[in-house]
Amino acid sequence: MIESLPAPPGAPLPPDADSVAMPLIRVAGGQTQRIEDAVALEAPLTLMLNGREWVTLLATPSHLDELVLGFLAAEGVVQHAGEVSRIVWDPEDGRAWIRCPALTPAARDALLVGRRTLSACCGRGHPGVVFASDTGVPPVPTGPGLWPLGHLARWVGALDRAARAFQDTGGLHTVALAPHPDSAPGDFLVVRSDVGRHNALDKVAGWRLLHGAPPPGALAIVFSGRVSAEVVVKAARLGAALVVSHAAPTTLGLTMADALHITVVAFVRGERLSVYTHADRLGLGGVAPAPH
């Protein structure tokens, strides 16, 4: 079904794998080690429907024919695969050109009501949030000083204990705002849950607007979900210096965190954790940058 345009020299074709190796600092048992580990791929894929830009997905760019056809069906554009005559993938600019000959002009105009961006999961993203340069969000400042490494596992444990609704239903994401120890006492300023991880992040952002909080660079987000690109953008808008999660990051999330000066700590399991970006905030002697 899917075709690939000839790739220019050096341009990769769509990957068969769902992950790539990226650098990190592994902390376990009080020891640190620089290693590479697999990170889930997240990349923008712009769908061009009958010659016009329709929507940008943030997704794992494998099995693209299935992804495109499934999305077309979910949006009510097609009911059968035969209604799509051609899908051409351009690996240079991340676009898939889709031809649906039976799509009427009225239906096409109804669908193409302006550019949309859809996140990898949990609902619709904000238009234009694809790269850090699109957001207009400045990099997060360094902040008041080093963040104690020992706080991270304690925060994740405290988040699990606070998330009673998550434990009861298994269907909610939970987010907490933690202040830098030099800014305010205690573990969390606020804890919020929602069925959508982005909604939970929006709730703590709204709380900060209503109540005030430490300045940019003096906040950490402790999070139950995957650290994707849109999560990182929301963290930057909050001025959060750290995003701490027991879940995994994505490649685009790490690239944006590197550009926006956010420290990403993932896979927190007791004293074992992985630091992917801006490890200097934790006193680990350098940065494990995401590739560009």
Active-site residue set: 122
Which residue type does 99 have? Answer: R
Q: Where are the alpha helices (DSSP H) in 60-216?
A: 64-74, 105-111, 132-135, 150-162, 164-169, 197-211
Tokens of 106: 């009225």
Using the structure block, give the residue that is written with the tokens 């005559």: 85
Put residue 123 in one of left, alpha, beta given phi > 0 → left and psi -120 to 50 → alpha.
Answer: left
Element of type H or E holding 151: helix 150-162
C-alpha of 71 from chain center = 20
The two structure tokens encoding residue 209: 């607007």
- Structural contact between residues 195 and 171, judged by C-beta atoms closer than 8 angstroms: yes
Q: Give the SS3 label for residue 53.
A: strand
